[in-house]
Amino acid sequence: MAVVIRKQESIEGAEAIRTFLQEKGLDYESFSTPEGISPLLGQKGLNDAEKEEVLSSLEYRFEDLKKKYGYKARDLVVLHDEVPGIDEVLAKFDKLHIHTDEEVRYIIDGSGIFGFIIGGEKFEVHVSKGDFLSIPANTNHWFTLDEKKRIKAVRYFKDNSGWVPVYVDESKVLVH
Ligand SMILES: [Fe+2]
């Protein structure tokens, strides 16, 4: 379950988080833990066949999300401290950026931190297993792992071509 960290307060509970994030233009859902894939989720890393097995076991979720949001493709990102070049991978996304397509993540294992600057407010969404988050195109955000350095996240796409970070100068969008 996610936690939202604002300057003055934390927001907990799926409904309160959904309401807060909706006001910011983000879609958030808290899904129950998927069954039938737990042995693989317990592994730190997954090979391509194991990733496909996990994705196949989540096909029902993909079908639901296709109908609701119109996604066309999905893949699985597995990050942990032994991934070669993990710091370089994280360095691409831990600075404020936007995409020209939406960024959609369904966290199925581990945890991480999305940061945002929306409407001049900076806040963090600490995501973990079961959290689904859709960040619209052109939304100022960043992402990093927490101290556990481990996450498995399904990515859903309507269009693969928009998947390049466009960096944003924080001082131009943050209201102090
Ligand atoms: Fe991003």
Q: Where are the alpha helices (DSSP H) in 14-152?
A: 14-23, 38-41, 48-57, 59-69, 86-93
pLDDT at 160: 65
d(CA 152, CA 99): 21
Q: Give the domain extent around 62.
A: 3-162
Give the three-state DSSP class for 37. Answer: coil
Report the CATH number that the domain containing residue 41 is assigned in CATH: 2.60.120.10
Tell how far the Cα of 114 is from the centroid of ligand 1, in angstroms.
9
Binding residue per annotation — 141? yes
Quick: pLDDT tens for 86-133: 999 999 999 999 998 899 999 999 999 999 999 999 999 999 999 999
The count of structural domains within the chain is 1
Quick: pLDDT tens for 55-96: 999 999 999 999 999 999 999 999 999 999 999 999 999 999
Q: How confident is the model over 41-61, as a mean pLDDT?
A: 93
The overall average pLDDT reported for the chain is 91
Tell how far the Cα of 103 is from the centroid of ligand 1, in angstroms.
6
Quick: pLDDT tens for 139-156: 999 999 999 999 999 999
pLDDT at 176: 56
Binding residue per annotation — 103? yes
d(CA 11, CA 5): 7
pLDDT at 8: 82
Tell how far the Cα of 165 is from the centroid of ligand 1, in angstroms.
6
pLDDT at 137: 92
Binding residue per annotation — 97? yes
In a domain, 173, yes or no: no
In a domain, 74, yes or no: yes
In a domain, 102, yes or no: yes
DSSP-assigned letter for residue 85: T
In a domain, 168, yes or no: no
In a domain, 171, yes or no: no
d(CA 63, CA 51): 18
> Is residue 106 within 8 Å of residue 116, measured between CB atoms?
no
Tell how far the Cα of 137 is from the centroid of ligand 1, in angstroms.
9
pLDDT at 101: 86
pLDDT at 136: 95
Tell how far the Cα of 101 is from the centroid of ligand 1, in angstroms.
10
Residue 44 has pLDDT above 80, yes or no: yes
Residue 38 has pLDDT above 70, yes or no: no
In a domain, 38, yes or no: yes
In a domain, 23, yes or no: yes
Tell how far the Cα of 119 is from the centroid of ligand 1, in angstroms.
18
d(CA 90, CA 70): 28
In a domain, 170, yes or no: no
Question: Where does the pLDDT of residue 161 fall: very low under 50, low under 70, confident under 90, or very high at 90 and above?
Answer: low
